[in-house]
Amino acid sequence: PGDSRATPNEYYVTMIQHVRHHWPNADVHLWSSINSYSAEMEAGKFHWKTEDFDVFRQMDVTVHLDGPSLLDCWVHMARADVFISSLSSFSAVPELMNANCVIYPHNLDWPRKEWVDGRKQETQPPDSPKLKTCLEMSSHVKSLNSAA
């Protein structure tokens, strides 16, 4: 709330629901910050509070706020079986490094053809062919298939 640069929670809720349609027990993690940008912090302006993420906690999502290491969250994002990215440029590095399924919010000029445009996926059923194909690329599914 309050920051037009932020991707709405509803987008993430829908994408998590779509992924869990296929993987009901998916271990979902969310990284974010309740701190504003430095100039806004100095002025005492904050857009979020930890309660703003309760909708995700209620969905059994592990919420990581203002962690000690940006590298740690990048590593998790880059290695995620499914990476639901945000509009922020902070997501660009893990998007490019992730060899699994990437769901991005329609803001890229250079998405890989196998990535899912999340804004389009929001209006599709959870079992849309594009999402199913993306999920099948994930290392989680590959490891299940190779064990069979």
Q: Which residue has the tokens 């053809």?
A: 113
Predicted pLDDT at 101: 95
Contact criterion met (CB below 8 Å) for 24 and 135 = no
Query: What letter represents residue 1's amino acid?
Result: P
pLDDT (0 to 100) of residue 19:
95
Predicted pLDDT at 63: 96
Find all residues with CB under 8 Å of 24, minimum gap 6, and list them.
none
pLDDT digits (tens, 9 = 90+) for 22-43: 999 999 999 988 875 555 556 6
pTM to 2 decimal places? 0.84
Alpha helices in the chain (DSSP H): 9-22, 38-42, 54-57, 70-79, 92-97, 118-121, 129-136, 139-147
pLDDT of 5: 66
Position with higher pLDDT, 83 vs 41: 83
DSSP state of 45: -
Tokens, residue 53: 């993420």
